[in-house]
Structure 1
Amino acid sequence: MNNRSQRRASIPGIFIDQIEYLLILATPIEIILLGMSLNSAATVHTPNGYAHPAGELTLYVTQMSVPSDNVSMTSIIGTDSGRIFMCGNDGHLYELLYQAEEGWFTRKCRKQNHTSTPYSRLMPTFLKLSQEDPISAIALDDSRNVLYALSNKSNIEVIYLGSDGEQFSKIERNTEIAKLAQNLTPTSPLLDSRNFQIVSIHPVLSTESRTIHLVAVTSSGM
């Protein structure tokens, strides 16, 4: 059974003050939010004389969970503002939403599909068709509030989360990455469009580069 976890800071004002982070446990059955705090007041000395901070890890039951609907989350990413994004093995991009109290029409914890159509949301899970170009990976650049989504066809979509990190705007989708790469290095035998495949994406923080925002690694290593 697939079980993914991610630790990230929580949205302020929802949990008790002791909770500093959230631990997300995801199985094909359920997604569970656990609170977490770390008391790092202690110091541990290693045999070679080095001192390392150590502390007590405490987990809190938040009573927040949501069904996974038989979808395994292949990756989970949290933002500095406490938002949680998940990539499912069904090729969709989800956001895990949580709030302090139940609303009239909303639960305390629920997941939102950012890539499905309004019609597909009304269909039962067993009738839903797979994505035409499913998302295979997501990556976050917290320094620019940008979320990247990589598809099985090596397309990359850029999603801007806004200056406050609370928005969700799809601003660009590049579907000609292989062609652009070939134009830059036309003599390279490693950039054959017939077997071009991006296997991973890695954001470059603004503190590391002002011009380079993302590095994409292909199956050939470039």
Structure 2
Amino acid sequence: MQCNCMMGLFPEIGRAWLTIDSAIYVWMYKDGSDLAYFDGLQDTILAVALIKPKPGVFKPYIEHLLVLTTPSELLLLGVTFSQALEDDSTSCLTLLPEPLFSVANDGVVLATAEEGWFSRKCQKVNHSRSALASLLPSFLTLSEQDCLIQIDVDESRCCLFTLSERGSISLYDIEGGACTRVATLTHATIMTAASAAARTVDKANFKSIVSICALTASEASWLHLLAFTSCGVRLYFTATAAASPASARPHHLQLVHVRLPPGFSANSLTHRPTRVHKALYSNGCSVLCASEAPDSDVLWSVSPEQFPQHATLAESAAVLAVDGVIWAIADVTPTSRWCATSSVSAGVPRLREYWCTTSAVSAGVPRLQ
């Protein structure tokens, strides 16, 4: 009997994945070919991720690691390709039983540590609580568990962000292999700051944060994080002072800008997004998945206008009705590894491509940026 089912996308290898209880299936999302599966687990799969291993750790033919987590264990499967990734490739999954990174269901961040004189080669270190709190028995801790629902990393500035079930956002500095918690903003603090920045907007629009996205240094030199609410409001955070140099390390987390979705202006012809449950930001374009009906979703795409008539910020929005409930969405625009950019099209706005997996069908959604 089916108990748990999830879907997702691996755009870096051109694959989609599906889990049914303890089995996972991986295939090419463009034509449905090259099906690979793994069913060697006893417990239900709760989370799936694809990562790149450090050079020299595994054999050269293992280009990626498939991470599977269950209530009792974390497993790594080596992903190999019979030929170059640019061509049609066949993936072969191989189990590598050494856990490298883990997130538990109790709201803590766990990572491996190096082998020492009095420690094992692989151990879990709790970076979410202080060393003193870790020594206290669990019945003495008065705080309730706040499970983590999302982790995102800005590799360009070595910053890790977490989002909890209750809407708290935490920032960790992971430069040099360390993992130091810098700041945490509770959901109440974020709502208060957002209401102060947008006094004419109903506070209910900031009530629920559904997704976060770490911004890279190339996208924004001063901004570090973008958060989406269930009403489509975008919250921008910074981790450094405005006059800080590019090399400055994060020392706080502060809300600095609130951007409203389409439909808030008095003369707007479009309706507002409601019940947003997934969101994605990529190269200036925000994609929102909103539930309009129990068995169908609406896809919102919001991006800066390419040729604005005025110097002020202007955004264009597109709405697409999707058959089924969207389970995952990803930017699958080919990178330089997949296709070369000609000099003729160098000055033309890049046509970005998004794929989403739904309860009905997988679909491609092109969007001009």
| Superposed pair shares fold, TM > 0.5 | yes
Structure 2 residue 174 is the aligned partner of structure 1 residue 161: yes
Q: Deviations over 1:173-209 (max 9, x none)?
A: 23421111111110101x249x722221112222222
CA–CA separation in structure 2 for the residues paired with 1:41 and 1:149: 35
CA–CA separation in structure 2 for the residues paired with 1:213 and 1:170: 15
Give the superposition deviation at 1:56. 2.7
Corresponding residue SS for 2:98: strand
Q: Deviations over 1:97-153 (max 9, x none)?
A: 277xx765444443332224546656899x796953624222111222110122344
CA shift in 2, pair 1:115/1:98, >3 Å: closer
Of residues 162, 165, 172, the one that matches 1:149 is 162
CA–CA separation in structure 2 for the residues paired with 1:128 and 1:17: 48
- Structure with larger Rg: 2
Alignment of 1:188-203 (within 5 A): 188-189=201-202, 191-192=203-204, 196-203=207-214
Structure 2 residue 146 is the aligned partner of structure 1 residue 134: yes
Aligned residues of 1:149 and 1:156 also touching (Cα < 8 A): yes
Which residue does 1:93 correspond to in 2?
A: 109
Which residue does 2:128 correspond to in 1?
A: 115
Give the superposition deviation at 1:27. 0.7
CA shift in 2, pair 1:54/1:105, >3 Å: farther
CA–CA separation in structure 2 for the residues paired with 1:98 and 1:34: 20
Give the superposition deviation at 1:172. 2.2
Which residue does 2:88 correspond to in 1?
A: 54
Give the superposition deviation at 1:90. 1.7
Which residue does 2:222 correspond to in 1?
A: 211
- Matched-pair identity in %: 29
CA shift in 2, pair 1:183/1:203, >3 Å: same
CA–CA separation in structure 2 for the residues paired with 1:216 and 1:4: 21
Alignment of 1:55-74 (within 5 A): 55-65=89-99
Structure 2 stretches lacking a partner, 5+ long: 1-43, 234-369
Corresponding residue SS for 2:195: helix
The residue type equivalent to 2:144 in the other structure is E
Aligned residues of 2:128 and 2:181 also touching (Cα < 8 A): no
Which residue does 1:19 correspond to in 2?
A: 62
Of residues 175, 185, 196, the one that matches 2:198 is 185
Corresponding residue SS for 2:232: coil
CA–CA separation in structure 2 for the residues paired with 1:169 and 1:124: 23
Corresponding residue SS for 2:228: strand
Which residue does 2:232 correspond to in 1?
A: 221
Aligned residues of 1:139 and 1:148 also touching (Cα < 8 A): yes
Corresponding residue SS for 2:124: strand
Q: Deviations over 1:83-104 (max 9, x none)?
A: 73x4332222222x277xx765
Aligned residues of 1:92 and 1:131 also touching (Cα < 8 A): no
Which structure is higher in RCO with an 8 Å CA cutoff and minimum separation 6?
Answer: 1
Which residue does 1:76 correspond to in 2?
A: none
TM (norm. structure 2) is: 0.44
Structure 1 stretches lacking a partner, 5+ long: 43-51, 66-82
Corresponding residue SS for 1:181: helix
The residue type equivalent to 2:192 in the other structure is K
Which residue does 1:79 correspond to in 2?
A: none
The residue type equivalent to 1:9 in the other structure is K
